[in-house]
Structure 1
Amino acid sequence: MDKKHEMIGHPLGLFILFFTEMWERFSYYGMRVLFVLYLTAELVQGGLGWSRESATMLYGWYTGLVYITPILGGLIADRYLGYKKAIIIGAGLMTLGHIVLAVDAVPAFYAGCVLLILGNGFFKPNISSMVGQLYPEGSPLKDSAYTIFYMGINVGAFLGILLCGYIGETVGWHYGFGLAGVFMFFGLLQFWFAKKFFGVIGEKPTQLTADQQAEVKNEPLTKVDRDRLIVIAVFSFFTIFFWLAFEQAGSSMNLYARDYTDRTLEPGLAADTFKIINTIITLIPLAVLTWLWINMFRKIRNEYALTVASMGVSVVAIWGLAIWMLSRQYSADALEIPASWFQTLNSLFIVLLAPLFSALWVKLSGTKLSPSGPVKFSWGLILVAVGFGALVIGSMSIPAGALTARVSIVWLCFAYLFHTMGELCVSPVGLSYISKLSPKKFVGMMFGIWFGASALANYLGGFMASFMDRISEQSSLSSFFMIFVIATGVAGLLLLLLNRTLRKKMHGIE
């Protein structure tokens, strides 16, 4: 690999995709964090005044559809468009969707959601597919690459939740929705200007060389291919249990943060401590982002000036917004932590822990201590169960049927920490295994199926969250969260039992 076109041992293309995916995730999570809060806010607060049950059901439908359209988007890219064109179409549709969401009208909200759902279908599976194609078959760097890529996802998610959430809750809901679209547009520009950097990677099949076309032609599946597809199916099934629990972050956990958590900080030590902590956790991902951009600038500023220029503008813009937000918080004596802020913890922990997990997978690779894919998945499920266990304990003091309470923020912090560690064992590892186990001609479609499983999980998660009030009234809020402890814990233990069988069907893929 040309040293000029690599960074920290990986192809520079990984970091171009990192920036593109980062701003897409900024837009997605910036909108997602506001979704239920906007729907359930009172009319006088600019919201729609929906019930929590109706809002979480719609949330489930929205996030479910966001993850089911990648099945079709991956198939279209595999057969007709190629990954590059699909990514550009998807980014364009999502930019338009956020522009529509910025309009303060109910029909615009629905129209914007439809555009985001369609755009995500073209974007999401195909950028993940391009990451895998940057590496040769059997490369031990793939797990590490997808973990770094996942870190990019979460830098964007952190900043989107932090800034769109803050602006949406304190300035206006539709300003938050609009801000998400601004940075989605930056992501589109950066990828558009850099598309030639990838050469034939991501091109449609008719533009590939004869040898490359031969690799993706319609040949019968071998027994090894079929066995590996079975493993993908099993992983996809178990990931449903993971995501239906994990995605409570945008629904029941979001409501828990707003209505049941003591978010008021009095002037003095408590408020000052939060200000300092919030400043530090805001500056960490911004520092990572700035360091990456500086290195990209040094390496490709002459060949891809427009790419690094658009990246630079987006970095400066995000710094400006962050400084504005922090200055407003420092000027206030007493503080009420925005309910949306707690979702930044997941992304922050990803940014902090992803390099450690990436280094761990590389160090253990090829040794007897290296955990197999099924074992990593089982760890992820069990860790999510532990996180919900913290919410079970924290909710024990809340009376049955209570609509508000003042529980310590510690329980949410613990939950997000364990959920994040579980996520690092499932999501980036899952992306890597889909890339390694899929027959080449089906890579995009397999990523689509992977996200299809997430679609079902998101819908089920929203459906289950809609029972939050009913279960709380009949039993307790602790009983509601206990459902997720049991579901993910049992699934994790069952997957451990299947480890040996699944490893055999992987036929040497580690």
Structure 2
Amino acid sequence: MSSDAPVGDRPPAGKTFFGHPRALSTLFLTEMWERFSFYGMRAILVLYLTAAAADGGLDLGESSANAVYGTYNAMVYLMALPGGWVADRLIGARRSVLWGGVVIAAGHYVMAIPTGWSVFAGMALIVLGTGLLKPNISTMVGDLYERDSPRRDAGFSIFYMGINLGAFIAPLITGFLGEKINWHLGFGAAAVGMTFGVLQYVLGRRNLGDAGARPADPLLGADRRRALTRIGVASVVVLAVLLVLLVAGWFTVDTVVNLLTVVTVLVTVGYFARILTDREISGTERSRMKAYVWLFLFAASFWLIYDQAGSVLNIFAADQTDRSVGGFTFPASWLQSVNPILIIIGAPLAAALWLKLGHRVSTPTKFAVGLVLNGLSFVLMAAAAQAAVGGDLVSPLWLVAVYAIQVAGELSLSPVGLSATTKLAPVKYASQMLGLWFLATAVGDAIGGQVARLAGTWSQPVYFLTFGLASVVLGLAAVMFTRQIRHLMAGIH
């Protein structure tokens, strides 16, 4: 094997991490702490935004708070596109992850400042930092192994456990600190978590070998200067737009949220238009991309409902569930830990099921199952909301059951969609398709944030039942068009 082979396929020497290269532990812990900071802050964000000023909150209306939450999630995933480009063309994945972690930590420290403006400034920094870190740390995990290494999938499975471990622990800590003591202390805990992640990443960098050390396709000379100039101009334009909004008196939470929602949708439409009109892709590749458009729309519709767990369902947990156990009222945000623990339990079972079924169940069918299950979770929420009509507090087991159904839907759609993305990608756009898959979440969350505004004006049973049935109907329609979509996929299952 040549000396520049990925470190993960060299014979393990010295200490290993579950039989894998020591570098995987560095990336595992970095991602675990990043997810701790992200999910820890997200678990209390809407609760802080809607809490009364007397309780230390921002006293923002439920409608606007839900929209802010959805748009924030959308921006995190949207920034994965430029974040991946910066790593590939300018500074490499390793430095992107480092600087991303530093900016994320800075964002959380800003949010820990006990003022009203700090939460929005902090979220902006977290969005920028996550865009640098999130897509590129996964790339570095892949760099530890040969592309066809039998240990590659196992390495990613261990890495995936780090994601969900951080997501499970975070709400328990930040939720208690935020809801029981002080909101900004909760945000500060997320900052400390990300700081731990950055420190261990720096200390463990000697284990990384060549993984992510250099840009995959670096810009040099005049091309680099031209790219940096364009970035500078774009930054000035963004600042100018914000200044105009401020001077005109339009710089409000709702205006910014609406603007970012439109930007997310326009970027997505432009991205697909660019690929589908590219004359350099073959007819077969164009057909597969047309199939992917449908899968993308199904995925965006899925995330539109699924990611309301941290907004609409979180508020329901705070206001309408009986959280008393033995005289102790546990924080509403603790229920945000149910999802990741169910994923940890269910992921191996789902993987075994799809392996057993093989090609007997197609990708569009799996997407349809995800949509139907997602819809049924909201139908169940409608029943929970109906039980809470009149001010009665309902058991938190309603939400546990809802999350269990949603996780079953996620395991049917999310990993399958990631796999389909790599298989349907035109050769020319292979390295960019992961960013396009992230856009499905961005679009779903952006539109979902606007849809969630209705939760504050419609009756809750009607809201949940309407969108639950809509998802079920969309899933059944997907089943009806499975044959046509498979035809467009041109031999890809």
TM-score, length-scaled by structure 1:
0.75
2:308 counterpart (240, 243, 248): 248
- Who is 2:394 aligned against? 407
Aligned to 2:119, the other structure's residue is in SS state: helix
1:488 counterpart (471, 479, 484): 471
Residue deviations 1:314-345, cap 9 Å, x none?
xxxxxxxxxxxxxxxxxxxx111211111111
- Who is 1:430 aligned against? 417
CA distance in 1, matches of 2:349, 2:18: 14
Quick one: which amino acid aligns to residue 309 of structure 2?
Answer: A
Q: Does the CA contact (< 8 Å) of 1:75 and 1:444 recur in 2?
A: no
Identity %: 40
Q: Does the CA contact (< 8 Å) of 2:90 and 2:218 recur in 1?
A: no
Q: Per-residue deviation at 1:143?
A: 6.6
Sort the Cα spacing of 1:10 and 1:393 in 2 relative to 1 into closer, same or farther, 3 A: farther
Q: Per-residue deviation at 1:104?
A: 0.5
CA distance in 2, matches of 1:412, 1:55: 20
CA distance in 2, matches of 1:441, 1:194: 35
2:120 counterpart (103, 110, 115): 110
CA distance in 1, matches of 2:280, 2:140: 24
- Range moving further from structure 2, 112-121 or 133-142: 133-142
CA distance in 1, matches of 2:145, 2:279: 23
Q: Does the CA contact (< 8 Å) of 1:40 and 1:48 recur in 2?
A: yes
- Who is 1:313 aligned against? none
Aligned to 1:106, the other structure's residue is in SS state: coil
Quick one: which amino acid aligns to residue 51 of structure 1?
Answer: G
Quick one: which amino acid aligns to residue 364 of structure 1?
Answer: K
Aligned 1:177-192 pairs, distance under 5 A: 177-192=187-202
CA distance in 1, matches of 2:48, 2:122: 14
CA distance in 2, matches of 1:185, 1:505: 47
Sort the Cα spacing of 1:131 and 1:114 in 2 relative to 1 into closer, same or farther, 3 A: same
Sort the Cα spacing of 1:406 and 1:97 in 2 relative to 1 into closer, same or farther, 3 A: same
- Who is 2:95 aligned against? 85
CA distance in 2, matches of 1:58, 1:28: 15
2:216 counterpart (205, 208, 215): 205
Quick one: which amino acid aligns to residue 352 of structure 1?
Answer: I
- Who is 1:391 aligned against? 381
Q: Per-residue deviation at 1:506?
A: 4.5
Q: Does the CA contact (< 8 Å) of 1:392 and 1:481 recur in 2?
A: yes
CA distance in 2, matches of 1:237, 1:192: 39
Aligned 1:442-457 pairs, distance under 5 A: 442-457=429-444
Aligned 1:186-335 pairs, distance under 5 A: 186-195=196-205, 197-202=207-212, 203-205=214-216, 220-265=280-325, 271=326, 334-335=327-328
CA distance in 2, matches of 1:505, 1:398: 46
Quick one: which amino acid aligns to residue 493 of structure 1?
Answer: L
1:378 counterpart (345, 368, 373): 368
Sort the Cα spacing of 1:450 and 1:32 in 2 relative to 1 into closer, same or farther, 3 A: same
- Range moving further from structure 2, 131-140 or 411-420: 131-140
CA distance in 2, matches of 1:131, 1:497: 38
TM-score, length-scaled by structure 2:
0.77
Aligned 1:101-180 pairs, distance under 5 A: 101-132=111-142, 148-180=158-190
- Who is 1:348 aligned against? 341
Q: Per-residue deviation at 1:168?
A: 0.8
1:100 counterpart (102, 110, 120): 110
Question: Which protein, 1 or 2, shows the higher relative CO under an 8 Å CA cutoff with sep ≥ 6?
Answer: 1
- Who is 2:406 aligned against? 419
* Number of matched pairs: 424
Q: Per-residue deviation at 1:86?
A: 2.1
Residue deviations 1:52-82, cap 9 Å, x none?
1221122222222222222222233333333
Q: Per-residue deviation at 1:134?
A: 5.2
Residue deviations 1:133-153, cap 9 Å, x none?
556557787776655543322
CA distance in 1, matches of 2:368, 2:93: 31
- Range moving further from structure 2, 454-463 or 500-509: 500-509
CA distance in 2, matches of 1:219, 1:7: 46
- Who is 1:35 aligned against? 45
